[in-house]
Structure 1
Amino acid sequence: MDATSIITQVSRDDEQLNVCPNEKDDVERLKPPKRGFFSSFLCCWRRNRTKTNQNGTSIDGSTTPPPLPDQQRYLLPQVRHSDMHKKCMVIDLDETLVHSSFKPIPNADFIVPVEIDGTIHQVYVLKRPYVDEFLRKMGELYECVLFTASLAKYADPVADLLDKWDVFRARLFRESCVYYRGNYIKDLNRLGRDLQKIVIVDNSPASYIFHPDNAVPVKSWFDDTSDSELLELIPLFEKLSKVDSVYSVLCNSNNPLNSVAKINNTNQQMSTPQAQMQQSLQQQQQMQIQTTHPQNQQQAVQQTITATTVITQATTISVPTLLTTQHPHQLQQHQQQQQHQLQTNQQQQHQQQLEGSPPNPPDLSNKT
């Protein structure tokens, strides 16, 4: 047996390395019906509408395979009482949580001895950044299941070292996969859990080809120490843990990471000085409008719009640009003129309010 065949992983150019011709007989499975393959790409509502009667015929007329015997029907044991309210999270191992190599790695987190054909081989394992935080949090929110296409003789000891908090309620290995068209597929139908309450986290789209609407894809990880994808995914999984059906979130988007990126981008934009200045100005002007006499509210609103526009335009000019276009003496004179003009405007507005006449709009012209 080739030593590298015990680990199912992708290369850096995303080529599959998991097929070993002499191992097909060991993990041969019946191919899933064609209906199961194509129906997984249909809209979620059809999945919910499909029912099966006692004769094995669904309402839409298609036939379903006969049920397996009870002892072979499901891969997972019964749900623990403490996990009854949780959804099930299926988590991949290689290039999702860790990266392993038979070549020595100086900074390896684990070194796992694996016996192959009477010879002990050393497997060097790197942990993905934030994997500890990710697993600990997911263990609080989900019934977590490790599901890998690698062999148990390698993956089981790695999981022992990786899972410090006993997060994984079960561990499934290559023999639990369905071998289909040259790939090891993780058939979620065989888990014994409600599909609407299962989410699979995997870097290989081929692994969840039967159930793409249950998947949250992750980027394959090899050794990038700056990677933070597991940490960034936690808010999404917190949201998924609270919905009735994962399809309500995942079925509407081919890549759920787009939603996370959009949220992060919005938060980043609102943290800029320009956004903060605009927000503060709008709050102050709104308070002023509420305390202004009704006949002057319309003009106050117009002043707010004008002032906001001026500040928006002004904040796009950098300080170095101003310093290079004006002499220091001119800058000082300009600042004094602006301060004097501001005081004059305030006095005029105060006097006009006392006399009952509407205030003049402030003079915001840029005089030098």
Structure 2
Amino acid sequence: MERSVICQVQKEDTVLPSKQGLVKKSSPTKPRSRNIFKALFCCLRAQNAPQPPPCQDHLLQTEENGSVAKIPGTCLLPEVTLQDQGKVCVVIDLDETLVHSSFKPISNADFIVPVEIEGTTHQVYVLKRPHVDEFLRRMGELFECVLFTASLAKYADPVTDLLDKHGVFRVRLFRESCVFHQGCYVKDLSRLGRDLGRTLILDNSPASYIFHPENAVPVVSWFDDLEDVELLNLIPVFEELSQAENVYTGLAHLRTP
């Protein structure tokens, strides 16, 4: 049985408070055609939630002030720029979090991106999630933003070129930066070179952050609901988290009834 799916992993309902109340997180399931194009997208279905592999521990070292220092050649992110000094780092997913893409024609597609597969150019039809422009603009003001997708760069890079018109993402990370663990592409936050206490991940797939669930802000998967307000409701949540000295205590506070 083919195990790859287009960036959607069935998950249990979770709840994250927003300034307007509780934002319910539940993943709708939609049928998918099975073909070679799915290899472009993410991610594989998770098995059990494992712990980070021990071999990642040597990638980071701690300075005297408690911050995480970058070891040359080992971390996925470059040194923090002056523009982002003191900001929390937020890792943001692409597919079913910010956009939904399809190889089937979509009449109201926001972008049509040509992608070459096995010598043939195919058109990818991309829908932007409602309020994504406002959401990204605000995130760029508050955080050091990193795009991290388990999709291939040949698809995700041109989509991000069109989506990120204000240059919010300082760095883009693709499938090769993931850890393939127990049949799943995992985004291992310990490899970024940032203090985990000052790092968040926004992703619709729990499989993507199974190494660091305590750093996650879950978001419901999006396909085509034009009335969706998930990103709009998350803006005040992230505004509060941007002020937190430690993301663990900040998230705990938000989750407290």
Per the TM superposition, whether the score is higher than 0.5 is: yes
Q: Is the 8 A contact 2:56 2:191 kept in 1?
A: no
C-alpha deviation, 1:102, in angstroms: 0.3
Cross-structure match for 2:153: 152
C-alpha deviation, 1:73, in angstroms: 1.2
Say if 1:13 and 1:76 are closer, same or farther in 2 by CA, change over 3 A. same
Letter of the 1:250 counterpart: L
C-alpha deviation, 1:252, in angstroms: 6.1
Q: Is the 8 A contact 1:8 1:150 kept in 2?
A: no
Please state if 1:189 is matched with 2:190: yes
Letter of the 1:94 counterpart: D
Please state if 1:36 is matched with 2:52: yes
Q: Is the 8 A contact 1:187 1:208 kept in 2?
A: yes
Cross-structure match for 2:78: 77
C-alpha deviation, 1:36, in angstroms: 3.4
Cross-structure match for 2:88: 87
CA distance in 2, matches of 1:248, 1:17: 42
Deviations 1:137-168 (A, max 9, x none): 00000000000000000000000000010000
Please state if 1:176 is matched with 2:177: yes
Say if 1:64 and 1:188 are closer, same or farther in 2 by CA, change over 3 A. closer
Q: Is the 8 A contact 1:100 1:124 kept in 2?
A: yes
* Bigger Rg over Cα: 1
Letter of the 2:118 counterpart: D
Show the 5 A alignment for 1:11-30: 12-13=28-29
Q: Is the 8 A contact 2:114 2:123 kept in 1?
A: yes
C-alpha deviation, 1:72, in angstroms: 3.4
Cross-structure match for 2:116: 115
CA distance in 2, matches of 1:117, 1:111: 19
Cross-structure match for 2:7: 9
Q: Is the 8 A contact 1:9 1:16 kept in 2?
A: no
SS where residue 222 of structure 2 aligns? coil
Instruction: Flag the structure with higher helix content.
Output: 1
Show the 5 A alignment for 1:300-315: none
Cross-structure match for 1:124: 125
TM-score, length-scaled by structure 1: 0.54
Q: Is the 8 A contact 1:74 1:192 kept in 2?
A: yes
Letter of the 2:251 counterpart: L
Say if 1:106 and 1:35 are closer, same or farther in 2 by CA, change over 3 A. closer
Give 5+ residue unaligned stretches, structure 1: 24-33, 38-61, 263-368
Cross-structure match for 2:12: none
C-alpha deviation, 1:17, in angstroms: 9.8
SS where residue 159 of structure 1 aligns? helix
Cross-structure match for 2:231: 230
Letter of the 1:178 counterpart: V
TM-score, length-scaled by structure 2: 0.76
RMSD over equivalenced CA pairs, Å: 3.0
Deviations 1:185-228 (A, max 9, x none): 00000000000010100000000000001000000000000000
CA distance in 1, matches of 2:55, 2:102: 45
CA distance in 2, matches of 1:232, 1:132: 14
Letter of the 1:79 counterpart: V
Say if 1:246 and 1:66 are closer, same or farther in 2 by CA, change over 3 A. closer
SS where residue 217 of structure 2 aligns? strand
Instruction: Flag the structure with higher strand content.
Output: 2
- Determine which structure has greater relative contact order: mean sequence separation of CA pairs < 8 Å that are 6+ residues apart, divided by chain length: 2
C-alpha deviation, 1:67, in angstroms: 4.3
CA distance in 1, matches of 2:138, 2:110: 21
Cross-structure match for 1:206: 207
Q: Is the 8 A contact 1:91 1:145 kept in 2?
A: yes
SS where residue 146 of structure 1 aligns? strand
Please state if 1:133 is matched with 2:134: yes
Residues matched between the structures, number: 216
